[in-house]
Amino acid sequence: MKSKFLRKFLAVGLVGTMAASMLAGCSGSSEQTTTSTSSGSEASTEASTDSASAEATTDGEVPTLIWWTVGGTIPSDFEEDMQVISDYVQEKIGVALDIQVAGWADYDSKMNTIVNSGEYFDLMFVNNTNYSKFVNLGGLADITDMVESVTPELYSFIPEDLWNGSRIKGQIYAVPTYKDSSLTQFWYFDDQYVQKYNIDYESIQTMDDLTPAFKAIKDGEGASFYPVQLNQGALWNGFFNEYDGLASGLQPIGVRLDDETRTVVSTLEQEDVMHNLNLLHEWYVAGYTNPDANVMTEGTKQNAFGNAQGWPAAVSAWQTQQGVEKYDAWKVFGPIYTTETIQGSMNAISANSNYKEEALKLLELVNTDQTLRDMLYYGVPDKTFQYEEDGTVTKLRDDWPLAGYTQGTFFNLSVESSAPADQYEQIKEQNEAATPSVCLGFALDPEPIQNEIANCNTVWDKYKYDLLTGASDPEEAVPRCLEELKAAGLDTVIAEAQRQVDEFFANADATAATTETTAETTTETVAETTTETATETAAE
Which strand ranges, in their side-by-side order, compose the sheet holding 327-337? 305-309, 183-190, 327-337, 435-436
Specify the pLDDT at position 129.
79
The full set of domains in the chain, from first to last, is 32-180+345-436 (3.40.190.10), 183-334+451-488 (3.40.190.10)
Q: How far does the chain reach from its first CA to its final CA, in angstroms?
A: 49
Which strand ranges, in their side-by-side order, compose the sheet holding 123-126? 96-103, 64-71, 123-126, 346-349, 174-176
- Find the range with the poorest average confidence among 22-31, 139-148, 208-217, 347-356: 22-31
Each residue's pLDDT tens digit, 109-129:
899 999 999 999 999 999 987
Q: pLDDT band for position 20 (50/70/90)?
A: very low
Each residue's pLDDT tens digit, 203-259:
999 999 999 999 999 999 999 999 999 999 889 999 999 999 998 889 999 999 999
Number of H helices, E strands in the chain: 19, 18
What's the pTM value of the predicted model, to 2 decimals?
0.73
Residues with Cβ within 8 Å of residue 346, at least 6 apart in sequence = 125, 126, 127, 131, 166, 174, 175, 176, 177
Calpha distance 109→90 (Å, rounded): 31
Using DSSP's 3-state secondary structure scheme, residue 121 falls into: coil
Q: Check: CB of residue 335 under 8 Å from CB of residue 122.
A: no
Calpha distance 175→518 (Å, rounded): 31
Using DSSP's 3-state secondary structure scheme, residue 266 falls into: strand
